[in-house]
């Protein structure tokens, strides 16, 4: 267990009492490894921020424990935990300069001024804000404020850095830049990052592992690839990326959809009445003459630049959405009312538990 940074054991959080009680976190257990970029992903109200606040110490769990490097820190106040947070609103102290903001943690710990100076300079260098050191936060742009918040949380060299949707206030271009920047910093410093977001794309591109949460429950923990390719249930599949859901009867290696079309699935799939999931990009559209698993009619085609989103109707009126890569075929998607063949990539057909 030496490589585990944060361990949450059966965490439960209930707000209010009796009939008005709201369960924010329902028996969540999780292990986060040292040096990992770990993301808590889910829609708002799923409990991800509550979990983050508990790790930081701003919330006390109703039940359960939190361990840091194997020590129970559940009852420790935030100012005793070697854990720092980058807040969604940045929470920069408006009455202090950038330098004083970044040095705040160390000065609260009573470190000597010379040491603080040195660390602050290094932290500001890390986020490329040396020139802004003596300004007040209000004089900086949103992106710069975000870097100050990051430098401030990193300056005391925490064991774990918590990031609460830190990029949500930035515009798209800046957000992309900061994503790369954050990943670079995490690799460079080797600190455990716990990142909270509702943006699935952000989660997929940055994380080593992702935990998907919904209404206080932990649904799935895994690498971005595992989560994307093997979602455990319909919610995860739906929340991450686009998916076609088709009701199916599974028997052995065959899933029957619409009562008459049979498709091959993994033999380990759950048997009986289930949902079949297929990602649009895992469906290949071929000319009607070519060999294909299925035949379909194109009912709608919307051009998106790099690809087209194509709506297809199967013989038994079941509808599917597929992506047609513009460059692959060297031309546009076939026009509406064209008959085409469909080929599924290996492992593309997933049978979901619910």
Partner 1 sequence: MARRDFSAARLPGFATIAITVFVALYAPILMLVAYSFNAGDSIAIWEGFSLKWYPVAWNNAEVREVTLRSLTIAATASVLSTTVATMAALGTTRRRQTRGQTFIYLLINQPLMVPEIVTAVALLIFFASIKVATGYQGLGYLIAAHTAFCIPFAYLPIRARLEGMDLTLEIAAGDLYASSWQTFRHVTLPLLAPGIGAGMMLAFVTSLDDVVITLFVKSAGQDTLPTYMLAQIRRSVSAEVNAISTLLLLLTVLLLTAFFLLTRKRD
Partner 2 sequence: MSAGEEKTARGETRSMWLLSSPALIILIFAAAGPLLIMLVYSFLAPGKYGNVVWEFSTDAWVSTVLTRDIFDGTLSLADAHLKIFWRSVKLSLITTFFTFLVGFPTAWFIATRQERSRAALLFLITIPFWTNLLIRTFAINQIIRTEGMLNTFLLWLGVIDEPLILLYTDFAVFIGMTYVYLPLMVLPLFAAIDRFDMRLIEAAYDLYASRWQVLRKVILPIVKPGIIAGSILVFIPSLGAYVTPRILGGGRNMMIGNFIEMQFGPGRNWPLGAALSVLLLVIVAAALIVYTRAATKEGPHG
Q: Is the CB of residue 250 less than 8 Å from the CB of residue 270? A: yes
- Convert residues 115-154 into a mask of x (bound to partner 1 by CB under 8 A) and - (unbound): -----------------------x-------------xx-
Provide the CB-side half-sphere exposure for 85 (13 A, CA).
21
Among 58, 130, 144, 321, binds partner 1 (CB under 8 A): 58
Helices (H), the chain: 48-56, 98-108, 113-126, 142-154, 172-189, 200-206, 224-229, 234-239
Mark the segment that binds partner 1 (CB under 8 A) among 41-49, 50-58, 167-175, 233-241: 50-58
Residue showing tokens 């009312």:
337
Task: Give the torsion sign (CA, 51, 57, 63, 65).
Answer: positive
Which of residues 82 and 247 has its CB atom nearest to partner 1 in the complex?
Answer: 82
Are 144 and 174 in contact by the 8 Å Cβ rule? The answer is no
Site for partner 1 contains 108 (CB under 8 A): yes
Phi, psi of 32 (to 5 degrees): -115, 125
Site for partner 1 in 70-89 (CB under 8 A): 77-80, 83-85, 87, 89
Assign 235 to helix, strand or coil: helix
Q: Binding string to partner 2 for residues 2 to 41, with x set by CB under 8 A, is what? A: ------------x--x------------------------
CB of 83 to partner 2, least distance (A): 17
Using CB under 8 A as the binding rule, whether residue 177 contacts partner 2 is answered as no
Which of 10, 60, 205, 254: binder of partner 2 (CB under 8 A)?
Answer: 60
> Which of 42, 47, 57, 61 touches partner 1 by CB under 8 A?
57
Residue choice 63, 201, 266, 353 for contact with partner 2 (CB under 8 A): 63
Which of 8/232 has CB closer to partner 2? 8
Query: CB under 8 Å to 126, separation ≥6 — which residues?
Result: 151, 154, 185
* Angle formed by the axes of helices 142-154 and 98-108, nearest 10°: 20
The CA distance from 88 to 232, in Å, is: 30
Task: Please identify which residue in the block is written with the tokens 């606040």.
Answer: 53
Contact between 240 and partner 1 per CB under 8 A: no
> Using CB under 8 A as the criterion, what x/- string covers residues 224-263 for binding partner 2?
----------------------------------------
Where does this chain bind partner 1 (CB under 8 A)? Answer: 56-58, 77-80, 83-85, 87, 89, 91, 93-95, 104-105, 108-109, 138, 152-153, 156
């Amino acid at each position: 267990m030496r490589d585990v940074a944060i361990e949450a054991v059966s965490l439960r959080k209930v707000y209010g009492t009796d009939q008005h009680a709201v369960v924010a976190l329902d028996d969540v257990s999780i292990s986060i490894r040292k040096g990992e970029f770990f993301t808590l992903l889910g829609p708002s109200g799923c409990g991800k921020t509550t979990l983050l606040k508990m790790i930081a110490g701003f919330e006390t769990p109703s039940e359960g424990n939190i361990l840091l490097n194997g020590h129970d820190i559940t009852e420790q106040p935030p100012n005793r935990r070697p854990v720092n947070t980058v807040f969604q609103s940045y929470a920069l102290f408006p009455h202090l300069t950038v330098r004083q903001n970044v040095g705040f943690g160390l000065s609260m710990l009573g470190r000597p001024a010379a040491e603080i100076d040195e660390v602050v300079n290094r932290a500001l260098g890390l986020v490329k804000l040396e020139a802004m050191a003596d300004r007040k936060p209000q004089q900086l742009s949103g992106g710069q404020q975000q870097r100050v918040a990051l430098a401030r949380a990193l300056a005391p060299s925490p064991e774990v850095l918590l990031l609460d949707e830190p990029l949500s206030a930035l515009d798209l271009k800046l957000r992309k830049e900061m994503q790369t920047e954050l990943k670079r910093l995490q690799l460079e410093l080797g600190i455990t990052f716990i990142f909270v977001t509702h943006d699935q794309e952000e989660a997929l591109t940055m994380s080593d592992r992702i935990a998907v949460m919904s209404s206080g429950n932990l649904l799935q923990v895994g690498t971005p690839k595992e989560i994307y390719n093997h979602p455990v249930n319909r919610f995860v599949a739906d929340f991450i990326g686009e998916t076609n859901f088709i009701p199916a009867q599974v028997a052995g290696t065959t899933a029957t959809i619409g009562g008459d079309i049979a498709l091959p699935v993994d033999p380990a799939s759950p048997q009986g009445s289930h949902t079949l999931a297929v990602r649009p990009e895992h469906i290949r559209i071929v000319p009607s003459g070519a060999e294909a698993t299925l035949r379909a009619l194109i009912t709608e085609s919307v051009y998106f630049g790099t690809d087209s989103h194509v709506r297809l109707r199967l013989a038994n009126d079941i509808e599917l959405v597929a992506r047609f890569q513009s460059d692959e075929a060297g031309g546009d998607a076939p026009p509406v009312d064209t008959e085409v063949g469909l080929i599924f990539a290996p492992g593309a057909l997933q049978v979901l538990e619910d």
